[in-house]
Amino acid sequence: MQETTYHIGEVASRVALSLRTVRYYESIGLVKPSGRTDGGFRLYTERDVQRLLLVRALKPTDLTPEELLELLDLRDRLIADQDSSVAGGAGRQARLHELLERGAQRIKLHRERLVAAELAVELIRATTPLDAPASAEP
């Protein structure tokens, strides 16, 4: 049973990233295609695509590439351990949750910045003559 694979173009459009960005994520080790054609074309499996989606979604966590890679690999290993009921790594769980917590904090920080930005926009809207009030001069 052959696994379905995709070329980079289809993958990039599905995950809404540029070809360049997908290749860049590969170059820093985040998401490597599962294979290549004889001609050198990258081949992505559905798993690879899911991983790309996860990387894209986790961008606002501001984790370094190294941390993000560690997080994704920890997740993979924990899930694998789970399936084979090895349940090996309490340390791995702790580390994963530490990284997730770090990421969650950064998301909160970004949220605060967005609130500040919205306040600034409202401030300007409020301190600037609004939509010309219906002229009072007849």
Partner DNA sequence: TTGCTCCTCACGTCACGTGAGGTGGC
Residue with tokens 């949750």: 97
Binding mask 61-100 for DNA (x = CB under 7 A): ---xx-----------------------------------
35 binds DNA (CB under 7 A): no
Tokens of 43: 């081949």
CB 24 within 8 A of CB 65: no
- Where does this chain touch DNA (CB under 7 A) — which range of 7-15, 76-84, 90-98, 107-115? 7-15
CB 14 within 8 A of CB 51: no
CB 58 within 8 A of CB 103: yes
Q: Which residues bind a second copy (CB under 8 A)?
A: 54, 57-61, 71, 75, 78-79, 81-82, 87, 90, 93, 96-97, 100, 103-104, 107, 110-111, 113-114, 116-121, 124-125, 127-132
